[in-house]
A and B are shown apart, each in its own frame.
Chain A
């Protein structure tokens, strides 16, 4: 509990996390608002159109929570105060995941709410399980992506590198693999952010998992990355 408070103080006592959170909310809710103004037939799914953009911003925030500690040397102060590094890093991961999840939920319901306000006539009630997943599921995806971003930050220790990896993998690598018809189609469901998307937007015919299975897979990947990061951090000189 104590270590969670430590990481909470650290995260909220600098400016950039606030910028990132406001940015993520502004982009997602702003887009949903424009969409609702322009279109009378806006759907629940469409209001979540910018979830990926918000997710990227939150991942940048999450990885910076670690890489800035390496950059400014405060990670050494942290490990000096808390020699059990695993505990310190797990606390950080938990706080970041909670904040990321919260941003995800606010972004998702904020987008839906804004659309409802601006286009009261549109069919925007959450009636099916799929609708609920598409909206409320955002928080879960954001939280798990936050865990991945923390893990990558610990492994890479370097802002530019970590940010580049976290943006290039979901936005470029995963899309390019999809270009390849046979092999690509087989690999694609197993790419992390395709799985996260399948959870939110529903799985295609012939997908190797159910939506919740896709989320479980995404969670396992996050856990594996985090495990690797914890082992490395424990062994490495600070």
Chain B
């Protein structure tokens, strides 16, 4: 389990992450969603003890990362697949990494086999394609057979086959009861992989929910209503707890279904000229949710 409590990070005058709190539970894939520059990588680096938080803290099963005795046995992470010396072989890279946490040397060949790199294990990592580098990064994350796994944008730049492989791998790891925390800036990707979603924008938490809750909430539709007795209808709708935006004879109503609105109008004897449910796409909803939270948005 990963607990993040009031985590914040400032670089000079810019705030990358502010007062972030959430919990990542075992046995499911938790997506970490947000646009580029939202603070996902910074948060992951702070969880892993690489960057020092300006405020708050992150705990792995109740312990700060830096106090873990053999961290790789507890937490495996893939932050950047290019963090490998190009002139060192894949096998040697894993060999030194295994030694740091006293992992049996046999583990190196096991994980190489698991990610399908056995054939190129003695080749220099600098010559690897992005897909192979990503596999090597995943091999280093799996090396200590950890209960907690963090992946930062693991499918970026991969071909469909590679993407499918990583999705399957993450689901499998979660099924084994591990905590799997995956970041992405693509909602479509997350909706296919994750069970739960933590959404951030501009370093702040936007929501934590299951994927289906998020989708329902994000695409929660509004209803366009046109009526000659718009004032009377609006009063009735607000009384029912709906949100109403007025634009001349047209109302955009949130919080009630079209059926409920129709019945309400009938009960109050209001004539309707139009009753039109509006449903946004998932991506649209996501963009709206993180809108203003987009750091490098094009306007």
Contact = CB atoms under 8 A, between A and B. Distances in A.
A57 B81 CA distance: 31
Given A3-B100, A15-B87, A238-B50, A80 B71 contact: yes
A83 B49 contact: yes
A81 B97 contact: yes
A13 interface: yes
B176 interface: no
Nearest to A75: B83
A2 interface: yes
Nearest to A15: B87
Nearest to B125: A72
A7 B68 CA distance: 20
A182 interface: no
Q: Which residue among A2, A13, A77, A237 has the maximum number of chain B CB atoms within 10 Å of its CB? A: A77
Contacts of B96: 6-7, 9-10, 13
B86 interface: yes
Q: How large is the interface on A (under 10, 10 to 19, 20 to 34, 35 or more residues)?
A: 20 to 34
A6 B79 contact: no
Contact of B87 (A5, A16, A81): A16
B288 interface: no
Given A76-B79, A83-B65, A237 B85 contact: no
Contacts of A68: 85
A217 B48 CA distance: 39
A202 B100 CA distance: 43
B77 interface: yes
Interface string B135-163: 00000100000000000000000000000
B100 A78 contact: yes
Interface string A53-78: 00000000000000011001110111
Contact of B83 (A7, A77, A88): A77
A73 B49 contact: no
A143 B84 CA distance: 27
Contacts of B185: none
A238 B84 CA distance: 15
B225 to A, nearest CB: 53
Nearest to A88: B100
Contacts of B65: 83
A82 B100 contact: yes
B48 A13 contact: no
Interface residues of B, number: 33
B88 A73 contact: no
A81 B101 contact: yes
A15 B89 CA distance: 11
Nearest to B42: A237
Contact of B99 (A6, A14, A84): A6
Contact of A79 (B49, B67, B85, B93): B49
Q: Which residue among B80, B88, B93 has the maximum number of chain A CB atoms within 10 Å of its CB? A: B88
A76 B87 contact: no
A84 B64 CA distance: 12
B175 interface: no
Interface in B100-134: 100-102
Contacts of A72: 82-86
Nearest to A3: B100
Interface in A1-57: 2-3, 5-7, 9-10, 13-16
Given A79-B49, A83-B49, A83-B68, A2 B99 contact: yes
A5 B99 CA distance: 7
B89 A13 contact: yes
B61 interface: no
B95 interface: yes
Q: Which residue among B51, B85, B140 has the maximum number of chain A CB atoms within 10 Å of its CB? A: B85
A78 B45 CA distance: 13
B72 interface: yes
B101 A73 contact: no
Nearest to B67: A83
A79 B97 contact: no
A83 B45 CA distance: 12
A69 B62 CA distance: 31
Interface string A207-238: 00000000000000000000000000001011
Nearest to B70: A81
Contact of B80 (A15, A73, A83): A73
Contact of A83 (B71, B77, B86, B102): B71
B100 A6 contact: yes
Contacts of A74: 83-85, 93
Interface of A: 2-3, 5-7, 9-10, 13-16, 68-69, 72-74, 76-84, 88, 235, 237-238
A-B complex: 10 closest residue pairs judged by Cβ atoms: A73-B83, A13-B92, A81-B100, A9-B96, A83-B66, A237-B51, A238-B50, A6-B99, A14-B87, A83-B49
